[in-house]
Structure 1
Amino acid sequence: MTAAQKAIIFGASILLTIGLISLFLLTYSPAASASKEASNEFAGLQTELSEQSFLVYDHSKVSGSQVINAIRKFEGKEIGIKVETGKSDTSWYNYSFTEDFLGKATGNSENIINETSPAYINPSGNFNAKVVRDSNRVIRAIEFIQE
């Protein structure tokens, strides 16, 4: 084999390699962006599903028994439950929440069924509920204010 033939074969193999790399990049780039978009969409759906149990309380009217059930339902979860009763008591259950900070709960869940306590929640009472989010749009608390 002559030097010219070797040079032609070497040049052709370089062009073939460049062509294969270009084909790979043209195929991979759209697939990567589609994959990233699908991943972001999936993360959004996952967030929406995880928030669904809280969103039933957003801007709704609920009974006192639903408030009591919410306190029990979310016990042990990182969400504050703020309850303002008709007896001018404001208590936080699970956690308190102020300015992007989860703090210590102030209420005792045993008092919500004690009729002599200011924290008593009347099961037939009416409450306005709303979800409270932090600066990152993450749900951190649910507020129940008695009418």
Structure 2
Amino acid sequence: MEGNLSKALWLGVTILLFIAVVTVGLSLFGGMKDVSSMANTQVGAIAQSMIEEEFRMYDGKEVKGDDVLSAINAYAGRSGEIIILVSTLGKGGTPVNIDLTNATSVNISSFTPYISDTNGTLSIDERCIILSSTDETLLKSKSKNLVDAARRDCESPNMTSKYINPSGKFMAQLIYDSNMKIRGIAFAQKS
């Protein structure tokens, strides 16, 4: 009888220890879940910041045509993700003002789109160029052949309206969507 009582006592103690360990584990898990969620949010913000950092060199800067051509070549593989809009002075074109300190509006038809296409419109809000669209798709992918053909056209002096002079001066601005995510770069040749 004493053996059965001893076994029952040990079984009871074991069950209580098991419940205590599970309770401690669950409370630690609950606390770590919040920490993990916060860490994921911060990692996401850092990742987005790193993605946007590659575009910062164009943010409100004056660049040479060679930099414009480099950007088109560098982002050529990201069709549907970003757009590069370029306005040149070819064929007597008029300069497009994208200096956000004094520009009030930007007409997207003044630009030639590279890398991606869009049916969207450009507006200026709080010193940012905003690309918005009534379509669900803000940017539309172009085929590799179309992207490559556009790249060749902008490098050919024979294509006067699309030619990007490597020594020309351009004003660069980042293009954002309505969520303030960088969606591209606008380049406008200066007179």
TM normalised by structure 2 equals: 0.63
Q: 1:122 matched to which residue of 2?
A: 165
Deviation at 1:136, TM superposition (A): 3.7
Q: 1:76 matched to which residue of 2?
A: 77
Root-mean-square deviation (Å) = 2.7
Deviation at 1:144, TM superposition (A): 0.4
* Unmatched tracts of structure 1, length 5 or more: none
Which of residues 141, 145, 152 is equivalent to 1:110?
Answer: 152
Q: Deviations over 1:2-44 (max 9, x none)?
A: 8998987776555444433321222222222222222222222
Are the counterparts in 2 of residues 90 and 119 from structure 1 also a CA contact under 8 Å? no
The 2-side partners of 1:114 and 1:7 are apart by 91
Higher mean C-alpha displacement, 62-71 vs 41-50: 41-50
Deviation at 1:66, TM superposition (A): 0.5
Q: 1:30 matched to which residue of 2?
A: 31
Given residue 27 of structure 1, which amino acid in structure 2 is its aligned partner? Answer: L
Deviation at 1:61, TM superposition (A): 1.3
Q: 1:101 matched to which residue of 2?
A: 138
Bigger Rg over Cα: 1
Structure 1 residues 1-147: aligned runs within 5 Å: 1=1, 15-78=16-79, 79-87=82-90, 88=93, 90-97=111-118, 98=120, 99=133, 101-103=138-140, 104=142, 108-116=150-158, 117-147=160-190
TM normalised by structure 1 equals: 0.79
The 1-side partners of 2:6 and 2:65 are apart by 90
* Unmatched tracts of structure 2, length 5 or more: 94-109, 121-132
Q: Deviations over 1:43-89 (max 9, x none)?
A: 22222222222222122111111101111111121321100112336
